[in-house]
Amino acid sequence: MSNGQTIIASRKTGPGTESLIKDFFALIKIGIVNSNLITTFTGLWLAFQFTGGHFLQHLDLIAYTIIGTAFVIGGSAAMNNYIDKDIDPIMKRTRNRPTVTGRYKPNVVLAISLSFLLVGEILLFSASFAAGMWGLIGILAYVVLYSMWAKRRYVSNTVVGSISGAIPPVIGWAAVEPSLSFGTLALFIIMFAWQPPHFYALAMKRKNEYSAANIPMLPVVKGFKRTKISMLIWILLLIPLPFLLKELGIAFIILSMLLNFGWLILAISGFKTKDDLKWANKMFIYSLNYLTIYFVLMIIFAIFI
């Protein structure tokens, strides 16, 4: 950790400013914000296409929804950093977070988090009452249910955390169609089922770190074999889900099924692998590409509805 003189000196230079910005992005977990905005935009886009709305005639609503969701996710992520400031120094993956290095003091982090959450909710409620309410549900699911309750107590913490991760596309849809529809449920279930195999792969890679921090992740408590079985089950659940969006056409269903079967084959290969960590890394990378491609396909094929 840098001493006070180094910090003061760095703030007077270009690299120091860049470092502060980098720390800020780490505080709000900009990668998570960006990935969730893809799913939020997909929810918006599909709602417009399914209801016959005109995308370009509602740019204000789109801005409220996208920016509001970004603030809500960033604020929730900062709150998670605030809550986990005691265990983050233990884990290699998190020990460089600004709440650990001291670049952002706890009271500053709390102020940033609450400010982001307030601004985000104001924007979401400006889009629609339903979008604002779903934003609140997402905050409660991530901050309270996951970060404060399940994460340190239960092996099912990943599943609990999947609730909040499945809400951004619902926010997007609710901004356009507050009453929601079956398509919203489809997006929620897809996101919910995708997250456990994605995070279990990461947990396998970081098993020793989670163990040292006393976080009861599935690989820590049940071992790798049980984790692989669980990952396989969740991926099997994903296979029929493209049919929930059959309005997008047969080509979408075929391409989505190919994505699903590719992940299934990779999951099955894990039971024969000699290098669990290498396999887990492949699963993690595949899951990231899977999500991006899946939702981009939804956006593309929705144009032809």
Tokens linked to 243:
């049919």
How far is it, in rounded angstroms, from Cα 188 to Cα 194? 10
CA dist 180 → 91, 134, 142, 164, 167 (Å): 40, 11, 22, 18, 13
The pLDDT tens digits for 170-183 are: 999 999 999 888 88
* Confidence band, pLDDT 50/70/90 cuts, at residue 12: very low
- Judged against a pLDDT cut of 70, whether residue 2 lies above it is answered with no
- Judged against a pLDDT cut of 60, whether residue 29 lies above it is answered with yes
The pLDDT tens digits for 294-303 are: 999 999 999 9
Q: What's the pLDDT score for residue 143?
A: 97
How far is it, in rounded angstroms, from Cα 102 to Cα 37? 29
Enumerate domains of the chain plus CATH numbers. Answer: 18-302 (1.10.600)
263 close to 241: Cβ distance less than 8 angstroms: no
Region 142-168 average pLDDT: 96
186 close to 167: Cβ distance less than 8 angstroms: no
- Judged against a pLDDT cut of 50, whether residue 224 lies above it is answered with yes
The distance of Cα 11 from the centroid of its chain, to the nearest Å, equals: 32
Percentage of the chain exceeding pLDDT 70:
94
Q: What's the pLDDT score for residue 1?
A: 40
- Judged against a pLDDT cut of 50, whether residue 49 lies above it is answered with yes
Q: What's the pLDDT score for residue 17?
A: 67
* Confidence band, pLDDT 50/70/90 cuts, at residue 101: confident
How far is it, in rounded angstroms, from Cα 61 to Cα 9? 43
pTM of the predicted model, to two decimals?
Answer: 0.90
How does the average pLDDT of the chain come out, rounded? Answer: 92
Q: What's the pLDDT score for residue 16?
A: 61
- Judged against a pLDDT cut of 50, whether residue 7 lies above it is answered with no
Region 46-68 average pLDDT: 92
